[in-house]
């Protein structure tokens, strides 16, 4: 009898523990559901009184108008200038960060001696761990006055704003180097050694093996890392807020001040915007746009990994 | 891809041993060029890191002193500005973040690695985790702002609860000393809101790192324990978890150091900029002794953290504040470097000694 009760108590305890652990795992699902619900509240449907953002502003105005002025008396809600700023900064970041990250990954995976690799990796990890607010300070106080101004203004005669998209894009590019490097290196190292050896056996040089054998074999992983890095650049906030400024204009001139979606969101939350006003609700609409963009990139990245991954055994 | 940029698995494929020195001699010119380019990319990254550190440190010289570490902020006099409010605020926020994120994160990882079967729910959880890790931090800020700071406008004088039932609920535990509720509802722009938001933010990092640590434990260890009659939980509690502690610790530390540097979500929550007090007015241990209720008040007090103070100093128009900001950055980076170093140390130490 006692044995039987002990047995059920044990079973019960085991099941309770498993249930609790499952609850922990479900927190992540709850977070996602929460994010989606919160983004939709205030932008698509309204919880309190008053209309939601997209009930007042039509989608055609939101995505069609080229004027963004939520805080003026004459309000305009065309998200294109913010999108333009975001794409400009993320584009500069991708152009500068992705090639460097990939080349560094190739070096660490194909060329570097194990000892060199072990020494260098911690430095890259430190680079990855530097807070974005520090990168913003670096862009504003060093990149613009000591790199961009002397070159573009002094040498070439362009006008460089104190806040500009180029400095922000460059530091975001630096920021994504460790990420691209680490993920691409994983992809390169997953390519089996037999492939390399087969290349050498056919008389290929190191360059031939790296570029024509290993790189194509790891391409899906590298492209997936690119997509993740661009997604991160799109969502990057503090460096862009500090270095790129707060002027929502449609321009592709990287030396001018722009406003990204994230910078606008920070700007609204720094001011005294009353909850329930249309400016406050625009925060959710812009947030939703940003969330959809990064989610699409992330899903694309995962799909690419699955679709094109070469499985070596 | 589930690997975080900061976390690098040491157990990758073997490095190709061939140095190719002879091939290099016979090789074509582009081979040299390409190798040089790749090498330059690595050195460029390291050079940038050094330039950044040197530049910031140079700006902080003369401003980073004992007074800076031990005084509160000053909006008018850059010379008197200090980072104490940020240090104490960060300590409170991060302490609470650890309290929430680590048990839940490790628990979730244990479930996914030790219990989960391959059904739709568990596949959904895994897929979801990979996506959560890629959500921009500012989006978590909006989540925190709506759910924790405002609680959907449910409580408070004009809240939905009042309009529906006529019952006004503003908080729990009235405190005579502070003339406020110790736990206000909605939370408002307080330490607790920030900590809960950051906990959700670093949860994917902690879970993924813990999963990797658990996965590294060989099945034979579990089988041996189970064969001796231990239950599933006893096996995890006494065998698997202790063996995977170093890996979990590394992941947790990396998650924490991310939380310490995180600015955007807390700015969205409306963490204050110029703050002249510590959470709960607890500046020293004697304060704690005099007003023990402050320990309950502090998590529900307004706050600032180090990165927000730095951001605020960067935004000031007075020229001197940029040196104050540099001093703040050096303090922040020093803390992060120590944490990162610790993580690397733990990883190297245990990856060397443990061979299964």
Q: Which residues of B touch A111 (CB under 8 A)?
A: 35, 38-39
Name the one residue in this structure whose structure tokens are 């926020």: B93
CA distance A270 to chain B (A): 7
C-beta atoms of B48 and A127 within 8 A: yes
Q: Which residues of B touch A262 (CB under 8 A)?
A: 136, 138, 264
Longest dimension (CA), chain A: 93
Picking from A134, A269, A284, the nearest residue to B329 by CB comes out as A134
Size of interface A-B (CB pairs under 8 A): 328
> Coil, strand or helix: which one is B163?
helix
Residue B273 placed within a domain: yes
Residue B171 placed within a domain: no
The Cα A227–Cα A187 span in angstroms is: 14
- Range of the structural domain that residue B318 is part of: 77-150+186-353
C-beta atoms of B263 and A183 within 8 A: no
Count of Cβ atoms closer than 10 Å to residue B233 Cβ: 19
- Look at residue A178 in the predicted model and tell me its pLDDT: 94
Closest by alpha carbon to B325, among B334, B335, B315?
B315
Backbone angles phi, psi at B11, to 5 degrees: -95, 45
What residues 224-263 of chain B have any CB closer than 8 A to a CB of chain A? 231-233, 254, 257-258, 260-263
Picking from B103, B139, B322, the nearest residue to A141 by CB comes out as B322
Picking from A24, A31, A140, the nearest residue to B111 by CB comes out as A24
Tens of pLDDT along A86-130?
A: 999 999 999 999 999 999 999 999 999 999 998 898 889 889 889
Residue B208 placed within a domain: yes
- Tens-binned pLDDT, residue by residue, of chain B (356 aa): 333 343 333 443 444 444 444 444 455 667 788 889 999 999 999 999 999 999 999 999 888 888 888 888 887 788 888 888 899 999 999 999 999 999 999 999 999 999 988 889 888 998 899 889 889 999 999 999 989 988 877 777 777 777 777 777 777 777 776 677 777 778 888 899 999 999 999 999 999 999 999 998 999 999 999 999 998 999 999 999 998 988 899 889 989 999 999 999 999 887 766 777 777 777 777 777 777 777 777 888 888 899 999 999 998 888 889 999 999 999 999 999 999 888 888 877 776 555 55
What residues 29-58 of chain B have any CB closer than 8 A to a CB of chain A? 30-31, 34-35, 37-42, 44-46, 48-49, 51-52, 55-56
Span A228-248, mean pLDDT?
Answer: 91
Span A179-206, mean pLDDT?
Answer: 91
The Cα B243–Cα B221 span in angstroms is: 10
The predicted model scores a pTM of 0.88
Closest by alpha carbon to A111, among B305, B31, B334?
B31
CA distance A64 to chain B (A): 24
Q: How far is CA A9 from the centre of its chain?
A: 49
CA distance A245 to chain B (A): 11
C-beta atoms of B23 and A38 within 8 A: no
Picking from B104, B233, B268, the nearest residue to A27 by CB comes out as B104
B216 touches chain A (CB under 8 A): no
CA distance B80 to chain A (A): 21
| Among A62-71, A107-116, A208-217, A229-238, the least confident range | A62-71
Residue A22 has pLDDT above 60, yes or no: yes
Count of Cβ atoms closer than 10 Å to residue B49 Cβ: 18
Q: What percent of chain A has pLDDT over 70?
A: 95
Q: Which residues of B touch A305 (CB under 8 A)?
A: 1
B268 touches chain A (CB under 8 A): yes
B110 touches chain A (CB under 8 A): yes
Mean pLDDT score of chain A, rounded to an integer? 88
C-beta atoms of B48 and A122 within 8 A: no
Residue B70 placed within a domain: no
How many domains does the structure of chain B reveal? Answer: 1
Picking from A29, A185, A299, the nearest residue to B125 by CB comes out as A29
Q: Scanning every residue of chain A, which has its alpha carbon at the shortest distance from the alpha carbon of B306? A: A133
Name the one residue in this structure whose structure tokens are 């470097």: B337
Residue A155 has pLDDT above 60, yes or no: yes
Q: Scanning every residue of chain B, which has its alpha carbon at the shortest distance from the alpha carbon of A101? A: B41
b vs e for A104-142, b when ≥16 Cβ sit within 10 Å of the residue's Cβ?
bbbbbbbbbeeeebeebbbebbbbbbbbbbbbbbbbbbb
CATH of the domain at B246: 1.10.3720.10
Residue B13 placed within a domain: no
pLDDT band at A63; cut points 50, 70, 90? confident
Picking from B142, B233, B254, the nearest residue to A17 by CB comes out as B233
pLDDT top residue among A181 and B75: A181
The Cα A20–Cα A26 span in angstroms is: 10
Dihedral angle sign, alpha carbons of residues A110, A111, A115, A117: negative
Q: Which residues pair with A68 in a beta bridge?
A: A77
pLDDT top residue among B139 and A2: B139
Residue B166 placed within a domain: no
CA distance B20 to chain A (A): 7
Residue B23 placed within a domain: no
CA distance A293 to chain B (A): 10
CA distance A27 to chain B (A): 8
Backbone angles phi, psi at B189, to 5 degrees: -85, 70
CA distance A79 to chain B (A): 17
């Amino acid at each position: 009898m006692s044995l039987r009760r002990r047995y059920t108590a044990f079973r019960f305890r085991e099941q309770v523990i498993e249930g609790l652990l499952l609850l922990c795992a479900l927190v992540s699902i709850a977070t996602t559901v929460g994010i989606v619900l919160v983004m939709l509240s205030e932008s698509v449907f309204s919880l309190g009184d008053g209309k939601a953002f997209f009930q007042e502003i039509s989608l055609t105005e939101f995505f069609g108008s080229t004027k963004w002025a939520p805080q003026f008396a004459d309000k305009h809600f065309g998200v294109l200038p913010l999108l333009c700023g975001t794409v400009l900064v993320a584009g500069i970041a991708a152009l500068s960060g992705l090639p460097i990250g990939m080349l560094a990954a190739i070096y660490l995976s194909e060329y570097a001696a194990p000892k060199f690799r072990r020494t260098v990796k911690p430095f890259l990890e430190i680079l990855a761990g530097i807070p974005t607010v520090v990168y913003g300070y670096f862009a504003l106080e060093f990149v613009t006055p000591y790199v961009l101004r002397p070159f573009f203004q002094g040498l070439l005669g362009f006008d460089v704003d104190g806040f500009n998209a180029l400095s922000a894009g460059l530091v975001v590019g630096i920021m994504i180097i460790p990420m691209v490097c680490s993920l691409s290196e994983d992809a390169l190292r997953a390519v089996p050694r037999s492939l390399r050896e087969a290349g050498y056996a056919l008389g290929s040089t190191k360059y031939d093996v790296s570029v024509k054998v290993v790189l194509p074999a790891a391409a899906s992983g590298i492209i997936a890392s690119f997509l993740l890095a661009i997604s991160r650049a799109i969502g990057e906030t503090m460096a862009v807020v500090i270095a790129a400024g707060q002027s929502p204009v449609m321009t592709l001139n990287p030396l001018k001040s722009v406003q990204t979606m994230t910078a606008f969101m920070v700007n609204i939350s720094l001011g005294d915007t009353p909850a329930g006003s249309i400016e406050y609700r625009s925060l959710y609409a812009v947030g939703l746009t940003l969330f959809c963009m990064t989610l699409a990139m992330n899903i694309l990245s995962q799909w690419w990994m699955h679709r094109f991954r070469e499985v070596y055994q | 891809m589930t690997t975080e940029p900061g976390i690098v698995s040491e157990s990758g494929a073997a490095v190709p041993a061939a140095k190719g020195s002879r091939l290099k001699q016979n090789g074509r010119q582009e081979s040299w060029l390409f190798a040089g380019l790749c090498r330059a990319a690595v050195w460029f990254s390291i050079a940038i890191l050094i330039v950044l550190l040197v530049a910031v440190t140079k700006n902080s010289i003369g401003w980073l002193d004992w007074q800076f570490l031990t005084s509160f902020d000053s909006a008018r006099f850059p010379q008197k500005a200090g980072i104490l409010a940020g240090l104490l605020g960060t300590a409170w926020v991060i302490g609470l973040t650890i309290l929430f994120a680590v048990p839940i994160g490790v628990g979730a990882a244990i479930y996914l690695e030790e219990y989960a079967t391959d059904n739709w729910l568990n596949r959904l959880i895994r897929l979801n985790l990979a996506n959560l890790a890629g959500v921009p931090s500012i989006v978590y800020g909006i989540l925190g702002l709506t759910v924790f700071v405002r609680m959907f406008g449910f409580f408070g004088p004009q809240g939905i609860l009042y309009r529906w039932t006529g019952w006004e609920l503003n908080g729990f535990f009235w405190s005579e000393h502070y003339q406020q509720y110790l736990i206000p509802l909605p939370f408002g722009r307080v330490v607790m809101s920030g900590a809960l938001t950051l906990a959700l933010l670093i949860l994917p990092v902690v879970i993924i790192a813990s999963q990797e640590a658990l996965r590294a434990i060989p099945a034979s260890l579990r089988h041996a324990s189970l064969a001796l009659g231990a239950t599933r939980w006893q096996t995890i509690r006494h065998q698997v978890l202790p063996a995977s502690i170093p890996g979990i610790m590394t992941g947790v530390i990396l998650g924490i150091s991310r939380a310490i540097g995180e600015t955007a979500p807390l700015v969205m929550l409306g963490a204050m900029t110029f703050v002249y007090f510590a959470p709960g007015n607890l500046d020293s241990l004697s304060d704690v002794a005099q007003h023990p209720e402050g320990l309950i008040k502090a998590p529900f007090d307004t706050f600032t953290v180090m990165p927000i103070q730095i951001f605020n100093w960067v935004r000031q128009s007075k020229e001197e504040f940029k040196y104050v900001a540099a001093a703040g950055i050096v303090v922040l980076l020093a803390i992060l470097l120590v944490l990162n170093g610790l993580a690397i140390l733990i990883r190297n130490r245990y990856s060397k000694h443990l061979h299964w």
